[in-house]
Amino acid sequence: MTANAPKILLLGKDSQLGWELQRSLSTIGPLVACDRQTANFENADELRFQIRHHQPAVIVNSAAYTAVDKAETERAKAHQINEIAVRILAEEASHLGAWLVHYSTDYVFDGEKASPYSVDDQPCPLNVYGQSKAAGERTIRDVGCNHLIIRTSWLYSAHGSNFPRTILRRAIERDQIEVVADSFGAPTTAHLVADTTAAMLDRLNGLSRPEELSGIYHLTASGETSWYDFAQFLLGLAHNRGLPIQANPKRVFPITSASYAAAATRPKNSRLETSLLRDRFRVHLPDWQVHARRFIEEVARSRLL
């Protein structure tokens, strides 16, 4: 940690990404981490108070409304947390001359593009959750504070609620499972996003004109797969590791996204083009299978299911 290490305020420390950010950001500078009770995104005065009290040089926001299907009937709450509260963060960052790091999602796109989405592609969300996240991005840019808006996709970790943990639990409870096979993306761990965020902030801290790197970036693991192939890969690893699954890879059956009953429509193409991030920040993004193997090892060692 250098003498001019920035003070960092982490919001949403209890999220699966916040869990990993507490580890990675502690090497960058003095860290204050707040949970959802301490920094309540549904209370504007309380949120402003926390920021003004701590006077950070960097605000890292890993808090979000992420209940994709529930958002269809909780539109106001989704926009309160993902848009209105985010405007407060941007305004306070602007007043302090601080940086705002904010995480967004592939759900800002409709998934109809044939190739990976670039940072210059126009958002066109299919559901309320995606609309609220796209609105949050716009409000940061409108306020004009220095920012890193980091879009990621298919995020997971050994903690919290996510696709791999759900698949493993179902495979333990059932002798066969069905998984969507016509949606594609790059499974990305919170561990990778947290470490890359720390590397980005470390690089900014060493530049004479860091504001030149302010903008939107795509951050996912390399490679691509379908939800179906991802599930088969995970269960193959789990079987080889001796986890007590009933549904091995041969007992995973493909279904279409159209036949998957959900309140919110999901994008079929969640692939994000990451070259801008890799070029500007000189980071390496390993193939998705690398961290999937690490995930299974962590689950097996820690008995987290």
Q: Which residues contact 240 (CB under 8 A, 6 or more apart)?
A: none
Q: Is 8-155+190-222+273-286 CATH 3.40.50.720?
A: yes
pLDDT, tens only, 80-108? 999 999 999 999 999 999 999 999 999 99
Instruction: Look at the block and give the residue holding tokens 């390993």.
Output: 286
Whole-number pLDDT of residue 294: 95
In the chain, the amino acid numbered 96 is L
Q: What is the C-alpha separation between 41 and 34, in angstroms, rounded?
A: 11
Whole-number pLDDT of residue 43: 93
Asked if 46 contacts 68 with a C-beta cutoff of 8 angstroms, the reply is: no
What b/e sequence results for 6-36 when a residue is b if at least 16 CB atoms lie within 10 Å of its CB, and e otherwise?
bebbbbbbbbbbbbbbbebbeebbebbbbeb
Torsion on CA atoms 20, 191, 41, 60, rounded to nearest 10: 80
What proportion of the chain, given as a percentage, has pLDDT over 70?
A: 98
- Consecutive H or E run containing 23: helix 16-25
In the chain, the amino acid numbered 81 is I
In the chain, the amino acid numbered 107 is Y
The verdict on whether 217 is a catalytic residue reads no
Active-site pick, 103, 129, 217, 228: 129
- Consecutive H or E run containing 94: helix 85-96
What proportion of the chain, given as a percentage, has pLDDT over 90?
A: 84
pLDDT, tens only, 270-288? 999 999 999 999 999 999 9
Whole-number pLDDT of residue 5: 82
Q: What is the C-alpha separation between 187 and 282, in angstroms, rounded?
A: 21
User: Tokens in use for 263?
Assistant: 């309140």
* Per-domain boundaries in the chain: 8-155+190-222+273-286
Inform me whether the pLDDT recorded for 305 exceeds 70: no
What's the whole-number mean pLDDT along residues 178-184?
95
Whole-number pLDDT of residue 304: 60
Q: What angle do CA 33, 163, 287 make, to 5 degrees?
A: 85
Q: How long is the chain?
A: 305
What does the longest C-alpha to C-alpha distance in the chain come to?
A: 58
Tell me the residue ranges of DSSP E strands in 227-282: 252-255
Q: What angle do CA 272, 274, 280 make, to 5 degrees?
A: 155
Q: What is the C-alpha separation between 12 and 139, in angstroms, rounded?
A: 19
User: Tokens in use for 270?
Assistant: 């969640």
Whole-number pLDDT of residue 29: 86
